[in-house]
A and B are shown apart, each in its own frame.
Chain A
Amino acid sequence: MNIFRLAGDLSHLLAIILLLIKIWKTRSCAGISGKSQILFAVVYVSRYLDLVTTFISLYNTLMKLVFITSSFATLYLMYVKFKATYDHNHDSFRIEFLLLPCFVLALLINASFTPLEVLWTFSIYLEAVAILPQLFLVSKTGEAESITSHYLFALGSYRALYLLNWIYRYYAEGHYDLIAIFAGAIQTILYCDFFYLYITKVLKGKKLQLPA
């Protein structure tokens, strides 16, 4: 554990908490992509199957449980409790176009061809692109509430911090995982446009509004 990894995990946790707070306080999931949230639930479940096979640390186990539980709580709020506020007309991204290619890629490019490892690899590829339905929704509506912007910023920062963690681990421990690094870089690149808007608009107190 190093400072970048810890900061990344905390940023990830903050993102999830911000999202739950936004939905709970406003009693609405307007502006949030249920499709992205479904993909994140798939990511956590397929990645954290090792909860039952491998013990890393108490921290690791607890965080995995928090990520799985909170993603299902988010889905419950969106698709059951505040279903009426769900923006499904704008949330029209076809997630099978992400799920299938990620799965095929995981079958082809993985560290070892075992069920758990292929699912882990699938989750890494899928996480890289899971935010696309959310970014698509923001681009369709042309705007995002400030708390949604903070959520996206924290969620994007998490993998960017992991990139620093991987650079650190390469030099400090000689550890690297090319699959995670490659996917993490793609994931971070997808947020760049949003980061730019966040820094130039939201941090200056303006609403995140895309140019018409």
Chain B
Amino acid sequence: GNMQTPHDEL
């Protein structure tokens, strides 16, 4: 799983 930043959603 990837808890990713930057967040690409609104």
Contact = CB atoms under 8 A, between A and B. Distances in A.
A37 to B, nearest CB: 18
Contacts of A147: none
Give the most central of B1, B6, B10: most A CB within 10 Å: B10
B1 to A, nearest CB: 5
Contacts of B3: 111, 177-179
Chain B interface mostly = loop
Chain B contact-residue range equals: 10 to 19
A67 B10 contact: yes
B5 A60 contact: no
Interface residues of A, number: 26
Nearest to A175: B2
A9 B10 contact: yes
A54 B5 CA distance: 10
Contacts, number: 37
Contact of B10 (A63, A111, A117, A177): A63
A63 B4 CA distance: 20
Contacts of B6: 50, 53-54, 56
Contacts of B5: 111-112, 116-117, 120
Contacts of B1: 174, 176, 178
B7 A50 contact: yes
Interface in A94-121: 111-112, 116-117, 120
A50 B2 CA distance: 19
A185 to B, nearest CB: 15
Given A176-B2, A177-B7, 15 more contacts: A9-B10, A47-B7, A54-B6, A56-B8, A63-B10, A64-B10, A111-B5, A112-B5, A120-B7, A165-B9, A174-B1, A174-B2, A178-B1, A178-B3, A179-B3
